[in-house]
Amino acid sequence: MAIICITFGERRRLIARPKSYQALVQKVWEVFDVYVEGFIIYLTSPTRDEEVELDPSAYDAISDGFSLRLTEGLDSSSDGETDNKQSDDLTVREVELDNPSQPELTNASGRGLDPNPFRTWVTALTTGADLGKKCEQVWGMPRNEQRICFEGQRMSDEDTPGALEAEPGNNIEVDTGRYDGKPAIFLMSPVRLDSASVQVTLSPHWKFSTIYPLVEPVLQNGNWSSVSWQVSADPNGTLKDAATGVECSYLYWEAKTTSDIPASPRVSSEYPFNPQCPDFSRMGRNACILPFSDFIPYLDRTLTMLTLSPVMRPEFMVYWLPKFQHIRDRGYDIAFDFVHQAAFEKVAKLSVDPQPQTVARIFLLFDETAKGGSEHLSLAELDAIDWPAKIGMDADGMRDQEAFRVLEWGGMQTHGF
C-alpha cells in the first residue's frame, strides 16, 4: 500500500494513496473539512526537492513517499468519475458521504440551488438522514426542504439504499423540490368589459413568487394565498389593470413549492395533483415520450387542439423552448403530460367575475427521460389522444367567438418526481 503526505494550509496528514485523482480531492474535503471549488495540487517526489504542479492525467504516476501540497484555485478537471451534468437551474456538487468503511454501493447525485456540482458515493447502510445531513452541510439547505428519492420513491430519514433494493450503479437523487409553475391568464370577450375581477388562490403546497401586473398576495385561512386583479378587457385581448394602469395581453403568476406541509402522499382524493411532487407516467405502456424533433411539432398540434390561438402558441413555445432544448442537448427524450383541469383547480383556484361561459386551464408537466428506456405510446397513438377530453376541457365552448372565455396556460419541469 502506497503512503503519501498531503498538506493543506498549516496541516499535514499521511494517508493511503487514493485510487484516483477525484478520490484524492474527496479525501481532502473529508480530512481537512473544506469544500472549495477546486484545488491546485503541487507534487514533490521522494528523489527531487523541486515542486511541480500535478495534472490529473499524471495522477497514476504517484507512488509511495510522494508529497502533495494543495492550494485553493480554479476547478481542476477530473479523471472522469465525476458526473458534471447540470440542469438549467439545478446543479450538484461533489462531496464524500459518511460510512467510508462500508463497501461502495451506489451513486448519490444531488440537485440543488448551489452553483457547484456535487456527487457522492453511498453504501447499503447510508440512511436518508446521513445523506440529508451532508447536503445541509454542503448547500446550507435544511433537511425539510430536501427531496431524496430512489426510482421515484421518497427516502425517509430511516430508509437506506439497501432497504430500497438499490444496486451498484443506481442513482439516488437529492432535490430541493422547489418547482416553478408559470401560468398566463387570457380574457377573451366579444365586447368590451369595463371591469372584470380575476383572482387566483393557491393551496399551501406552493406560494406566489412572481406576479404581473404587480399586486401583493394576501394570506387566507389555512395558509392559502391569493392575488386579485381588477381589469378592463377589450375584444382584441388587451387588458388594463385598474390599480397600476398597466396594459398587457395576459395576467401572469409564477409559484414555487413550499416545504411547510408534508409532500406525501404524492396524490390523494383531495389533491389528485400535488405541486410538491408533480407525478406523471415516465415509463410503461401509457407514457407520453417523444424525442425533441418530434415533440416540438406534436406540442404545437396539441396546443392547437387545446384552442390556443396563433398568438398564444408561440408565446408558450418560446417560453419553454430553452428547457426543451436543454433536455435534448443532454441526450434525453421528453416525457410529458397535461394536468386535468379539476385536479389543477384544487391547488390553484381561479375565479373570474363576470363569470365566463367557458374556462380552459392548460398545464403541462414535462421532464427528461432516457432514450429507449421503456415502452411508451407511439407517435401515432399520441396523435390519436383527445387532449381536451383527457383534461376535462370544453373545446367547442372555447371556440365560440361570441362567448366570454378565459384561457390559462402554464407548466413545470418536474426534475425527477
Is position 79 within any domain? no
Higher-confidence residue: 112 or 357? Answer: 357
Same domain assignment for residues 156 and 68:
no
Same domain assignment for residues 315 and 360:
yes
The three grid cell numbers given for residue 172, joined into one nine-digit string: 439516488
Q: Using one digit for the tens of pLDDT, what is the confidence trace for 375-394?
A: 789 999 999 999 999 999 99
The three grid cell numbers given for residue 399, joined into one nine-digit string: 371556440
Q: What is the reported pLDDT for 154?
A: 67
Q: Using one digit for the tens of pLDDT, what is the confidence trace for 264-299?
A: 455 566 788 888 877 777 666 788 999 999 999 999
Same domain assignment for residues 293 and 210:
yes
Q: What sign for the dihedral angle of Cα 254, 256, 257, 259?
A: negative
Are 158 and 127 contacting, i.e. CB atoms less than 8 angstroms apart?
yes
**How far is the C-alpha of 290 from the C-alpha of 374, rounded, in Å?**
12
What pLDDT band is residue 256 in, cutting at 50, 70 and 90? confident
Same domain assignment for residues 153 and 191:
no
Is position 86 within any domain? no
DSSP string of 275-327? TTS----SSSTT--EE-HHHHHHHHHHHHHHTT--TTHHHHHHHHHHHHHHHH
196-205, 216-225, 317-326, 331-340: which range is least confident on average? 216-225
Q: What is the reported pLDDT for 12?
A: 87
Same domain assignment for residues 208 and 119:
no
Contacts with 122 (C-beta within 8 Å, 6 or more apart), sequence order: 97, 99, 105, 106, 107, 108, 130, 131, 161, 172
**How far is the C-alpha of 122 from the C-alpha of 200, rounded, in Å?**
43
Same domain assignment for residues 259 and 136:
no
Contacts with 241 (C-beta within 8 Å, 6 or more apart), sequence order: 213, 229, 230, 231, 247, 248
Q: What mean pLDDT is predicted for residues 101-113? A: 40
- Alpha helices (H) along 93-189: 128-139
Top mean pLDDT of 65-69, 152-156, 350-354, 411-415 is at: 350-354
- What is the count of structural domains for the chain? 3
Same domain assignment for residues 154 and 220:
no
Q: What is the reported pLDDT for 233?
A: 98
Is position 346 within any domain? yes
Is position 316 within any domain? yes
What pLDDT band is residue 98 in, cutting at 50, 70 and 90? very low
Q: What is the reported pLDDT for 348?
A: 95
Average pLDDT, the chain: 80
Is position 56 within any domain? yes
Burial (CB count within 10 angstroms: exposed 0-12, middle 13-18, buried 19+), residue 57:
exposed
Q: Which of these three, 51, 72, 93, is where a domain ends? A: 72
Say yes or no to pLDDT of 34 above 80.
Answer: no
Instruction: List the CATH number of the domain containing 115.
Output: 3.10.20.90
Q: What is the reported pLDDT for 415?
A: 65
Q: What mean pLDDT is predicted for residues 219-230? A: 88
Q: Which of these three, 175, 200, 230, is where a domain ends? A: 175
Are 161 and 150 contacting, i.e. CB atoms less than 8 angstroms apart?
yes
Structural domain of 232: 180-413
Same domain assignment for residues 211 and 171:
no
Q: For residue 21, what is the enclosing H or E element?
A: helix 21-32
57-66, 277-286, 396-405: which range is least confident on average? 277-286
Q: What is the reported pLDDT for 112?
A: 40
Q: What is the reported pLDDT for 116?
A: 42
Is position 78 within any domain? no
Is position 125 within any domain? yes
Same domain assignment for residues 221 and 161:
no
The three grid cell numbers given for residue 384, joined into one nine-digit string: 390519436
Q: Which of these three, 175, 210, 228, is where a domain ends? A: 175
Say yes or no to pLDDT of 134 above 80.
Answer: no
The SS3 of residue 128 is: helix
Say yes or no to pLDDT of 36 above 80.
Answer: no
Say yes or no to pLDDT of 95 above 80.
Answer: no
Q: Using one digit for the tens of pLDDT, what is the confidence trace for 152-200?
A: 566 788 888 888 887 766 777 766 555 567 899 999 999 999 999 999 9
Radius of gyration of the chain (CA): 26
Same domain assignment for residues 191 and 171:
no
Same domain assignment for residues 56 and 133:
no
Same domain assignment for residues 259 and 328:
yes
Burial (CB count within 10 angstroms: exposed 0-12, middle 13-18, buried 19+), residue 35:
middle
Q: What is the reported pLDDT for 166?
A: 78
Are 37 and 28 contacting, i.e. CB atoms less than 8 angstroms apart?
no
What pLDDT band is residue 90 in, cutting at 50, 70 and 90? very low
What pLDDT band is residue 321 in, cutting at 50, 70 and 90? very high
Is position 190 within any domain? yes
The three grid cell numbers given for residue 190, joined into one nine-digit string: 366579444
The three-state DSSP-derived secondary structure of 363-408 is: EEEEEEECCCCCCCCCHHHHHCCCHHHHCCCCHHHHCCCCCCEEEE
